[in-house]
A and B are shown apart, each in its own frame.
Chain A
Amino acid sequence: MKAIHKLAGAVTASLGTIVTSAHADFALNMREGVTETSKSVYDLHMTIFWVCCVIGVVVFGAMIYSIINHRKSKGAVAAQFHESTTMEILWTVVPIVILVSMAVPATTTLLAMEDTSNADMSIKVTGIQWKWKYDYVDGEGAGVSFVSSLHPKHNEARLLGANADLTEFGDEYLLDVDNPLVIPTGQKIRFLLTAADVIHAWWVPDFGWKKDAIPGFINEAWTKVDEPGVYRGQCAELCGKDHGFMPIVVVAKSPEDYSKWVAEQQAAARAVEASAEREWNMDELMAKGEQVYTTNCAACHQANGQGLPPAFPPIAGSAIASGDANAHISLVLNGKPGTAMAAYRDILDDASLAAVLTFQRNSWGNAASTVQPADVKAAR
């Protein structure tokens, strides 16, 4: 009953949105995108679309003419012809000619898209339920590495029954992340795509392609963006519960701005490394832990630690989170094969892991030992 009531409310609200919406959201067509590749894909799309339209007009035109004129109520008498070899040959050969003329530009574009040679730099993209990890393999950013998840504000708004005001997010609802991927303009960037758990697909429509990220295998793709800007996309291969909530944001910066960004990242990485060397106090661990928990754990284990059993067990009152710290560390580091519980070994640094473990062990009625970054380092 409550659901029906809600639905009725939603009907009125949505119809209202359509009528009052000031900007045209009734998008009809594919976007041209911002790369040479995306533009040739768009051209192919439009060509084949118009080919279909012309064939449609001819075929449906003949059919509609026949429906209007060859009806019994108009006194039509049925002819009895039932074959014509000429016609059969004609409508076999003509489509073949059309198809061959389509296949030529399609082949050219495909060969260009699949040519990842002579790249200026490479970025490794790892799909993880339900976030992306980016590793800068070479070039000036070599060694930069971070995880990119749905922006926490969006993450709250998308919970069942949140009733959040989505208009405040503009066109970015569910398409914003905490740490965007940053690339330099004017360079050919090779992406090396893989996954840690299940198959994902990395898709930014403005670049003109998507490619699967498959655990245990590495796929290649490339792009070259000339205009600085922010380009958004999302995971395109069903990857479990929060498949709809793992967006991709790419920020293209001029080479100078890109260098500045790399320097900032490297400084931040050094700070994180240094912070893992020292002893943390309880308040520090709890504050950082809550933040890490919200981004990484709450989707399954819920903000209140109660989980969604049986698929996602509770942490509140669990034997692991209130027992031996080493067992807890090991579970989070290595994940649990065959379930959605990921291995956080490569996703989080020592300090973040120590913080989130401490947070889990000392929240929602749990009261167990704290975990220090050194403990995590030792367990790795």
Chain B
Amino acid sequence: MSTATATHDDHHDHGPAKGLMRWVTTTNHKDIGTLYLLFALVMFFVGGAMAMVIRAELFQPGMQVVDPQFFNSMTTVHALVMIFGAVMPAFTGLANWLIPMMIGAPDMALPRMNNFSFWILPFAFTLLLSTFFMAGGGPAAGWTLYPPLSLQMGDGFPFMIFALHLAGISSIMGSINIVVTILNMRAPGMTLMKMPLFVWTWLITAYLLIATMPVLAGAITMLLTDKFAGTSFFSAAGGGDPVMYQHIFWFFGHPEVYILILPAFGIISAIVPTFARKPLFGYSSMVYATASIAFLSFIVWAHHMFTVGMPVVAELFFMYATMMIAVPTGVKVFNWVSTMWKGAMTFETPMLFAIGFIIMFTIGGFSGLMLAIAPADFQYHDTYFVVAHFHYVLVTGAVYSIMAAAYYWLPKWTGNMYDEKLGKMHFWISTISVNVLFFPQHFLGLAGMPRRIPDYAVQFTDWNVISSVGGFVFGVSQLMFAYIVFKCIRGGDKATDQVWEGAKGLEWTLPSPPPYHTFTEAPQVK
């Protein structure tokens, strides 16, 4: 008995295991956070390479680089990889690293499940990408997989569905872990309304994931049985309805959009007060606004389908509900601006990305408000205007927040400061090129260029050339980010515990880098 206890105690003094097996068998939230973040970075470049193929083909009218079928699979898999492989795992990685340190917990509540939910992902995406080498090629029906078109896919079809199921299972497990950790493992005194907003936004995001991922799973399983088991859920010939798939898909899909942006709100709400050296304006209204957005996300799904021919009453309902989302989202933007107001600001790289986020996410919000107006949407729908809209909210929104978070917490994670000069350069090159890339796409859409086409009428050439040039520069400049992160991991000026002058919160009370196990004794929160 006594030897067993001694061995057990001994275990706590260990650092991490050595070698590859450390990463395979780890149950440590910091290791798993690192794995998630590195996986997301790799997927960001995989998805980015596909975007480069798309922009190369659209560089000029006429078909030069790839055939139309392959082009369609590029747009499809680019979206699937970026959404499920890059942005979502990056946010989960941040949650793993930060939530225990922010609420004063020693680790995630369910560490073995944590390991499992990460290690599913590399298999899921290997499976997804392997469909390119199967008869019939990769998925090419758009990331929304609308039937009957998606059912025309070749041999890779069941593999793609299985890959999405795996990614969904991983997300659900990750979310359960986050909910359980936040609700059970807060340090004494850390009441819900004292939690940092990043923790709050992730708590709400996790509930959205748990509620909607099974809906996606249901929809794609029905696709599977329609293809192989003779059911006709989505085939009118057998009494089904192809539009029903769209309703089910977007009941998942619209909350999914907020899954991709709510954690970003949390990150920006952490960074802006630090560099304005002023507390966040309207903390409780931020929490309520997040909850309202999450609620509204469940009752606006059909605004993605205004053109399917719904009854006019349904169109009116979804138009009004969608316009309502502008209110809580506006509250957030106003609160960030008020936080900056009369602060004492400095503009290190994380703050630059945060300000970039606020401005460009708001531009994406404006085009979103325009898209909500159903009669106008009959013109905008399925054009490059929509492509511009969702890239403003997802690239200069979600991705910018992840970049901001990486720069903000890297010194804490590694103990080294990143190269500030390179970081600022990365920000400015990215911000200029990303606008050259996506802003002209508004014009293309309004002028009448549909999305998901590999070739276009010559009058669309000029803006496409400019957009492609912006795309190539933006794509290449992200290699800088990888280099900066790598350099920071290897070494650099030593970071202090607080790192940033204005930083407040439990994670900044820990040493930089934090020891392998932190808060084994819970801190007291006043």
Chain A residues within 8 Å of B, Cβ to Cβ: 3, 6-7, 10-11, 13-15, 17-18, 21, 25-31, 40-41, 44-45, 48-49, 52, 55-56, 59-60, 62-63, 66-67, 70-73, 76-84, 87-88, 91-92, 95-96, 99, 102-103, 106-107, 109-111, 113-114, 157-164, 166-167, 169-175, 193, 197-199, 201, 203, 205, 208-212, 214-217, 219-220, 233-245, 308, 310-311, 338-340
Per-residue interface assignment for chain B, residues 455 to 493, with 1 indicating a CB less than 8 Å from any chain A CB and 0 otherwise: 111111111011000000000000000000000000000
A70/B327 in contact, CB under 8 A:
no
CB distance from B326 to the nearest CB of A (A): 6
CB contact under 8 A between A72 and B452, given known A7-B65, A48-B376, A216-B236: no
The listed residue (B344, B359, B370, B466) touching A63 by CB distance below 8 A is B359
Task: Decide: A209 and B379 in contact? CB cutoff 8 A.
Answer: yes
Query: Nearest Cβ in chain A — how far from B293, in angstroms?
Result: 13
Q: Residues of B contacting A59 with CB < 8 Å?
A: 333-334, 337, 362
The complex places the Cα of A66 from the Cα of B359 at a distance, in Å, of 14
Residue in A173, A219, A338 whose CB lies within 8 Å of B457: A173
B383 within 8 A of A: yes
Q: A31-B448, A216-B237, A239-B149 are in contact. List 12 more A-B contacts (CB 8 A).
A: A27-B447, A29-B446, A44-B376, A45-B370, A70-B276, A79-B343, A82-B278, A91-B334, A175-B457, A210-B382, A215-B242, A237-B307
Chain A, Cβ-Cβ closest to B464: A14
A14 and B282 contacting across the interface, CB-CB below 8 Å? no
Q: Are A66 and B337 in contact (CB under 8 A)?
A: yes
Number of A-B contacts (CB under 8 A): 331
Q: Which of A27, A30, A110 contacts B312 (CB 8 A)?
A: A110
Of the candidate stretches B18-26, B82-90, B140-148, the one touching chain A is: B140-148
CB of B340 closer than 8 Å to a CB of A:
yes
B319 at the interface (CB under 8 A from A): yes
CA distance A361 to B326 in the complex (A): 62
CB-defined contacts of B211 to chain A, threshold 8 Å? none
Q: Which residues of B contact A163 (CB under 8 A)?
A: 62
Bound CA span A37–B448, Å? 17
Known: A7-B59, A103-B320. A17 touches B461 (CB 8 A): yes
Q: Kindly list the 6 A-B residue pairs having the minimum CB-CB distance in the complex, ordered from nearest.
A: A216-B236, A244-B453, A219-B309, A52-B366, A27-B447, A209-B378
Q: Provide the bound-state CA to CA distance between A193 and B309, in Å.
A: 10
Inter-subunit contact A214/B72 (CB<8 Å) = no
B residues 298-351 with Cβ under 8 Å of A? Answer: 307-309, 312, 315-316, 319-320, 323-324, 326-327, 330-331, 333-334, 337-347
Q: Does B235 sit within 8 A of A, measured CB to CB? A: yes
Given A49-B370, A52-B366, A59-B333: A111 in contact with B312 (beta carbons within 8 A): yes
A63 to B375, CA, bound (A): 33
Whether A92 pairs with B327 at a CB distance below 8 angstroms is yes
For A171, the chain B residues whose CB sits under 8 A away are 457-459
Shortest C-beta distance, A332 to chain B (Å), equals 18
Interface hub of A27, A56, A111 (most chain B Cβ within 10 A) = A27
Question: Contact check: which of A88, A157, A240 meets B152 at CB < 8 Å?
Answer: A240
Chain B count of residues within 8 A CB distance of the other chain = 107
Cα separation A11 to B64 with both chains bound (whole Å)? 12
Return chain B residues, CB-CB under 8 Å to A166.
Answer: 61-62, 458
Q: A14-B461, A56-B362 are in contact. Are A107 and B316 (CB under 8 A)?
A: yes
CB atoms of B455 and A158 under 8 A apart = yes
The reply on B45 being an interface residue by CB < 8 A is no
Does B63 have its Cβ within 8 Å of any Cβ on chain A? yes
| B195 located at the interface, meaning its Cβ lies under 8 Å from any Cβ of chain A in the complex | no
Pick from A60, A92, A174: contact of B456, CB under 8 Å: A174
Q: Which of B60, B331, B379 has the most CB of A within 10 A?
A: B379
B374 touches A71 (CB 8 A): no
Q: In the docked arrangement, what's the CA distance between A78 and B501, Å?
A: 13
Q: Which residue of A lies closest to B382 (CB)?
A: A236
| Residue in A99, A158, A242 whose CB lies within 8 Å of B324 | A99
User: Beyond A45-B370, A214-B243, A214-B308, is A158–B63 a contact (Cβ under 8 Å)?
Assistant: yes
Name the contact of B279 in the complex, choosing from A41, A80, A109 (C-beta under 8 A).
Answer: A80
Looking across the interface, which residue of chain B has its beta carbon closest to that of A62?
B337
- C-alpha spacing A44/B373, complex, angstroms: 8
Q: When A173-B61, A199-B146, A240-B149 are in contact, do A88 and B282 touch as well, CB less than 8 Å?
A: yes
Which chain A residues border B458 with CB–CB below 8 Å? 25, 166-167, 169-171, 173
Tell me how far the C-beta of B73 lies from the nearest C-beta in chain A, rounded to whole angstroms: 10
Tell me which of A114, A169, A209, A243 contacts B315 (CB under 8 A).
A114
